[in-house]
Amino acid sequence: MESIVLDANRRDVIGKQVKALRREGKLPAVIYGHGIKPTAITLDAREANRVLSGVGASTLITIDLEGEPYSVLVRDRQQHVLHRQLIHVDFQALSMSEKVRASVALILKDEEAPAVSDYGAMIITGVESLEIECLPLDLIDRIVVDISGLESIGDIILVKDLTVPDGITILDDPETMVVVATAPAAEEEEEAEEVDEFEEGAEPEVIGEEQEEE
């Protein structure tokens, strides 16, 4: 994966005065953690929005703070309620020799499970992300869930069934449900039965009789 680098500068402006920085096209942020005291910084707003839009909670980034590089994770981001542009970001600096925890998204493998093609099952997701622990260089941005093993209705994949690269530990309960193959929705079957019953029991309207009665 190509390394992500953002240039930053220290800032003295804090509080309500940061609005002026935003008008100048700068994004206020904070970096804290290993090897650095909490430090107020600024980034180029346009570049930061472009780069960070595709960055998850487990994506390793390098902040070049006036020539001094820091390996960081995005720990918090605030966005404008209307135009959704970033207005503030918190970065945590990491030690490359110490394990770190991060939240990783779960992605279903792009294929159809046999339970779906053979029995019309529905695939229900139990969780959308999991917490992992590993060294910074071992961080991954997703865990791919192979659903080809869901062969029948009722088949289930638990956290303990997932395969992850060496060096990564999943911290969630191993018995947590990830996905399950369920029967088609009962509501859809009931609606279909109601339509069938109506069609079978309905009596045709006789227009001629109504005209004679009139």
- 32-57 pLDDT tens trace: 999 999 999 999 999 999 999 989 89
Confidence of residue 209 (pLDDT cuts 50, 70, 90): very low
Q: Are 101 and 112 in contact (CB under 8 A)?
A: no
Residue type present at position 37: K
Confidence of residue 123 (pLDDT cuts 50, 70, 90): very high
| Assigned CATH topology for domain 5-94 | Ribosomal Protein L25; Chain P (2.40.240)
Which of 9-13, 39-43, 136-140, 156-160 is predicted least confidently? 9-13
Is the model's pLDDT at 6 over the cut of 80?
yes
H/E stretch holding 198 reads helix 186-201
Is the model's pLDDT at 205 over the cut of 80?
no
- Of 31, 58, 34, the C-alpha closest to 43 is 31
Note the CATH number of domain 102-189.
2.170.120.20
Phi, psi dihedral angles at 74 (to 5 degrees): -80, 120
Confidence of residue 83 (pLDDT cuts 50, 70, 90): confident
User: Chain-wide mean pLDDT for the chain?
Assistant: 88
- Of 87, 102, 98, 93, the C-alpha closest to 65 is 93
Q: Are 31 and 63 in contact (CB under 8 A)?
A: yes
Q: Are 23 and 84 in contact (CB under 8 A)?
A: no
User: Do 5-94 and 102-189 fold alike per CATH?
Assistant: no
The domain ranges of the chain are: 5-94, 102-189
Confidence of residue 204 (pLDDT cuts 50, 70, 90): low
Token output for 137: 């260089």
Token output for 110: 């792009």
Q: Using DSSP, state whether 171 is helix, strand or coil.
A: coil
| Segment 58-74, tens digit of pLDDT | 999 999 999 999 999 99
| Segment 160-196, tens digit of pLDDT | 999 999 999 999 999 999 999 999 875 445 555 555 5
Token output for 41: 């910084």
